[in-house]
Each structure stands twice: as C-alpha cells, then as structure tokens.
Amino acid sequence: PGSDARAGEHGVPTVIAHRGASAYAPENTLASIDKAAELGFSWVENDVQRTKDGELVVLHDDSLQRTTNVEDVFPGRAPWKVRDFTAAEIARLDAGSWYSPAYAGTRVPTLEQYMRRVERNHEKLLLEIKNPELYPGIEQQTLKLLGNEGWLDRGHLHRLIVQSFSADSVRTVHELKPAVTTAYLGKPSVAQLHRFAGFTDLINPSYTSLTQGYVSTVHAFGGPHDRPLGVFAWTVDDAVTARRAAAYGVDGVITNKPDVVRAALGGD
Ligand code: G3P
Ligand code: CA
C-alpha cells in the first residue's frame, strides 16, 4: 500500500491543489476541484467536518460565516458553527458569492457529493479531518463513507491520503484501516517522530517552519508501510518558496496556486 504522491527521489515534488485550486475558484467546492482538473492537476486537498444531523460536509472553518451567506439566511444563529446546522440548512447556503458573483449559487458539498466529483474528474484526494475533537467518531464515519464509495478498494488506495492536525485522529485512521496512507499536519520533534512513525506515512509542516535538516531527519524514519516518511509543505503560493521547498527535498507542495508552483518547479 501507499499513495503515489512520492516524487521526492526524482526531484520534482507532487503539487497538491489546496482546498481545490482555491486561488481561482471558491475553496472546498466542486467548482474548485473542477478548476484544479481544468488546470491539469490530479491531487486536491479538502477539509471534512460534520453537521448537526450527522452528515459529513466539506468546509474549512468551524463556522459557516466566512465562506457562505449564512448571516443573511440565518441572521439569528451566530456564531454559525457547522455543527449547529443541519445538512438541509447548509444545502440552502451560497458558498460562491463571497468569492465572486460569477460563482453565485455554488453549494457547500457533502463529502459524498465531493467524492463523486473527485472520481468523475479522475482526481486524487488529500482529505483532512478538520477539528476532530468537535466530532467524536468522525474518523470511523469518514472511512465508512470512503469505503461505500469504493475508495478503500485496492485499486483506489494510491489515490487517497488522510491527514489531520490531531495525532490521535491520524492514529485512529491508521488503526481502523492500516492500508490507508496517512499524514500528520505539523512539525513533530524527533522524540515524537519515533512514536508517530508507527501510524503516519507523511509529516506535513507549514513551510514557514521548514528547514533542509528537518526534511532529512523525517526522511530517515521508516513509516508504517516500510517506506521512508514523506514530507509535504503547505501553503506555498510563490515561485521562490516553491523552489526552496523543492531544494529541501520535500515530496509534495500544497498550494492555492498550483499553476504558479508547477511553472516554478517544472515537471507535472
Ligand atoms: O493541507 C495543509 C493545510 O490545509 C493545513 O492548514 O488551515 O489550510 O487546513 P489549513
Ligand atoms: Ca486543510
């Protein structure tokens, strides 16, 4: 097992479109993953949370306020937390107008809708379990949905990575489905790496904290699938930073502007 997002040895990191191609279309919507596909990118990243009535949806913030018109539709419901709204209520919201009038009417996708579009677009997914402390059991529920959609089948596993800022959540995913490629978001110490290498395949730190020495340190560890731990850096949106990350030897670059990173790095 193992995802195919490993280009480190050949020098060109994999480019991952962060929340879709989110510099060019509203983040975490079907439009943003269509845009990534249109630009010729196969890997997209998203954020998964849960509604009041238990539906998995794709949204970054724990509140609907920034990226939808929830304040207009439900004015009395501040602070508009995802977990306080039903899936039917969220389905009424406009998740595109805040970005541009050209995207008016774009919806917050359910994870099921999102997975079907990823499949239709022949894309690959870096799925982030966001705020898992707010959603007990979200790891199991996410894996169940992925399984129902065929994403845990042998032929699909190379197209999927599950990540979280919560080490507990990453470990839970690994324990529930050991064949799934996992990533921990952050920059663990060497002592932590000794533990985390038991359940995570990748370490994904912010580029702001990255050094060449740290990338080499991570690569020296073997992960749960008998491959060296990988490193994806986020969120890199300019050519200079992309080239620096590549020179450090990262395996992937997570970016809102995949075209800018590709132009800087060459390769695909
Ligand atoms: O994939 C890395 C990145 O998404 C982590 O930060 O806040 O954008 O989810 P955030
Ligand atoms: Ca994310």
* Residue nearest (by alpha carbon) to ligand 1 atom 10: 60
Between the CA of 235 and the centroid of ligand 2 the distance, in Å, is 9
DSSP codes joined into one string, 51-99:
-TTS-EEE-SSSBSTTTS-HHHHSTTSTT-BGGGS-HHHHHTS-SSTTT
pTM: 0.96
Question: Cα 240 to chain center, whole Å?
Answer: 23
The CATH number covering residue 247 comes to: 3.20.20.190
ipTM higher than 0.95? yes
Which residue segment(s) compose the domain that 160 sits in? Answer: 8-62+111-265
Query: What per-residue confidence (pLDDT) applies to 26?
Result: 99
Query: What per-residue confidence (pLDDT) applies to 4?
Result: 64
71 in a domain, yes or no?
A: no
Query: What per-residue confidence (pLDDT) applies to 7?
Result: 47
Q: Is 174 a catalytic residue?
A: no
Q: Which atom of ligand 1 is nearest to the CA of 60?
A: 9
Between the CA of 23 and the centroid of ligand 1 the distance, in Å, is 14
Between the CA of 18 and the centroid of ligand 2 the distance, in Å, is 7
1 in a domain, yes or no?
A: no
43 in a domain, yes or no?
A: yes
Q: Is 122 a catalytic residue?
A: no
Query: What per-residue confidence (pLDDT) applies to 8?
Result: 45
Cβ-based neighbour number of residue 260 at 10 Å? 17
171 in a domain, yes or no?
A: yes
Is beta strand 56-58 parallel, antiparallel or unpaired with respect to 43-50? antiparallel
Q: CA torsion angle for 97, 160, 187, 174 (degrees, to 10)?
A: 130
Query: What per-residue confidence (pLDDT) applies to 1?
Result: 43
Query: What per-residue confidence (pLDDT) applies to 5?
Result: 60
100 in a domain, yes or no?
A: no
Give the distance between the most distant pair of CA atoms in the chain.
Answer: 54
78 in a domain, yes or no?
A: no
**Ligand 1 contacts CB of residue 201 (under 6 A):** no
Cβ(69)–Cβ(93) under 8 Å? Answer: yes
Tally of domains within the chain: 1
Give the three-state DSSP class for 41. Answer: coil
208 in a domain, yes or no?
A: yes
2 in a domain, yes or no?
A: no
Q: Which atom of ligand 1 is nearest to the CA of 19?
A: 4
Along the 268 residues of the chain, how does pLDDT read in single tens digits? 467 666 444 579 999 999 999 999 999 999 999 999 999 999 999 999 999 999 999 999 999 999 999 999 999 999 999 999 999 999 999 999 999 999 999 999 999 999 999 999 999 999 999 999 999 999 999 999 999 999 999 999 999 999 999 999 999 999 999 999 999 999 999 999 999 999 999 999 999 999 999 999 999 999 999 999 999 999 999 999 999 999 999 999 999 999 999 999 986 5
Ligand nearest, relative to CA of residue 128: 2
Query: What per-residue confidence (pLDDT) applies to 6?
Result: 60
